[in-house]
Structure formats: structure tokens, C-alpha cells
Structure 1
């Protein structure tokens, strides 16, 4: 795990791969809870019996936004940002969903520091992200997560 305490330390990693998280298995329970939280109860996510016969995946699949919501959890397994007043999820750029994540699949986050800027004392970090699916060639998604870090002086 990398530890970052200020902008200069963070900037020293520009262009470098920062690491890879642990594998996380996406269960049907997690999918169902996400469906309840987001009011998205489309059958391809929650109807296991219908998915076996009617879905091209032959199983339920995780919501794309569920896989995105794992970014902060998996990111914190790779890097520890310390000496902060505040951290803000600022956006996601260049996002592409490349492949569905079937229930019980394992995923992990691979990251690289794509860009970094000092915006009058606030660090904006663009993190190239790829959510890998175990035993699959294509990732679930690729893009750039953008975070704002307000370091203590």
C-alpha cells in the first residue's frame, strides 16, 4: 500500500501504476441490496430463475453502477491518503462499461495516476481505473476517477 501525505508526494507517482486491490466477490445479496437502495429492480439483476433462461449471461449480473460504487472501497486498499482536511469524489471521466459482471464473479481495481494538478492548494488527481474480472479478458469498466484532496498545510 502506498501512503501519501501531501501534493508533492502524490505528484511523484505521475504516470505510474499505483497498484491493484484485493479480489472482491459480488454476491446476489449485494446485488439485491443495491437494487433496493437504487430502486432498480430490473430482472437481469434480481430474478435468478428468469436470468438462467432469458439472459444471454445465463445468470444475474451486477448493476453497472454497483461496480462503480466499489471504487472508493477498492481504492482505499491500494493507497492511504493522510494529512487531509477533506476528500471529495469529483467525477468520473472517459467511463466505458466493457463487460457485464456475473453474480459471484470476483473483481479488483487496477489504478494509475493519469494526471495531477494543484488548484490553489487543492490537489485534483485523475486516477486511471480498470475493474478487472477474474478469469475474463475484458474488464468490467475503464475510465478515470477524479478526486479532490484538501491537504492540511
Structure 2
């Protein structure tokens, strides 16, 4: 069940610096990796060539780092639901790191921490750190501080 905030006052009442929650597990499939390769033109063998990747550094194919990053808009609504705004805009990222790979077949989940809420013209800007981990892995797969704008 996501944490729910309604409107400007609801967002301002969210706890700063605390974990808001975590998403469900989401499995990374070879089909998803292949579709991402098609969309981006990144056909590096560690992502799309299962036979060659068996002998590679990860023992199989892995997701693109940017595929892992692209899961943020999919996983965040499972953690945080914000209502009462006319428009939500992904404004950007301040920091992105990929500390460990996501193997195909791995299951990832995200946690979110609200770092800051600030006023912008027409609404609020939220700075949120999302940490995406692979089930059973020692280090996170992706840590990103991103900015989203909630506009009235």
C-alpha cells in the first residue's frame, strides 16, 4: 500500500529523510532487456547475447543500467501516491549510480526517501532518492536522486 499525499499540504506533511516505503518485486526478463536494446540501439553483448554472456564477467546477460533507471516511474507509484495536482513532470536527476549489475531473471525492488520539498512556479518540486536493489544482492543496483514537479 503506497504512502498517500493529497495536494500541497499533504506533500508538505510527508516525512523528510525517512523511507516512505518499498515497491513490490519486479522481475527483469530477457524480453524487457531486448526491447530496451531495440529502443536505445544499445546491443552490447552483455545485454543481448545469452550464449556469449555465459562466459562473460557476470555469468549471463544483465539489464542495461538505464533500463534499471527507467523503472523509477514504474516502481515509485507503488511507494508514493500523490493526488490533487493537475500535472506531474519528471524534471531530472541530480545523481545516478549503478553499483552492481541486474542479472536477467533477477527481481528488483525500490525504496524511496523524500529528501526535500521546495516551491517552484506553479507547484512543488520533490527531490527523492530511490534505491533499486536486486533480491539477494549485497549492493544496490541503482541509486538515483531525481526531481519531480507536482503542478497545480
1:81 is matched with which residue? 82
Where 1:32 maps in the other structure, the secondary structure is helix
User: Which residue among 38, 41, 47 is the counterpart of 2:40?
Assistant: 38
Kindly report structure 1 stretches of 4+ aligned residues shifted beyond 6 Å: none
Alignment TM-score, normalising by the size of structure 1: 0.94
Secondary structure of residue in 1 paired with 2:78: coil
Aligned to 2:24: 22
TM-score by length of 2: 0.95
CA distance in 2, matches of 1:103, 1:9: 38
* Alpha-carbon separation, structure 2, partners of 1:125 and 1:5: 14
The alpha-carbon deviation at position 8 of structure 1 amounts to: 2.1
Q: 2:72 aligns to what?
A: 71
Per the TM alignment, residue 124 of structure 1 is displaced from its structure 2 partner at its CA by 0.3
**Residue aligning to 1:51:** 53
Structure 1 residues without counterparts, runs of 5 or longer: none
Structure 1: how far apart are the matches of 2:132 and 2:12? 23
SS at match of 1:137: coil
Matches within 5 A, 1:1-153: 1-13=2-14, 14-53=16-55, 55-151=56-152
Deviation at 1:16, TM superposition (A): 2.1
C-alpha deviation, 1:45, in angstroms: 0.3
The answer to whether the Cα contact below 8 Å between 2:95 and 2:146 also exists between their aligned partners in 1 is no
| Helix, strand or coil at the partner of 1:19 | strand
Structure 1 residue 134: Cα displacement:
0.4
Q: Encode CA deviations 1:99-132: one digit per residue, 9 max, x unaligned.
A: 0111100001100100110123421000011001
1:76 aligns to what SS in structure 2? helix
Unaligned runs of 5+ in 2: none
Q: Which moved more, 1:43-52 or 1:119-128?
A: 119-128
CA distance in 2, matches of 1:68, 1:83: 26
Secondary structure of 1:84's aligned partner: coil
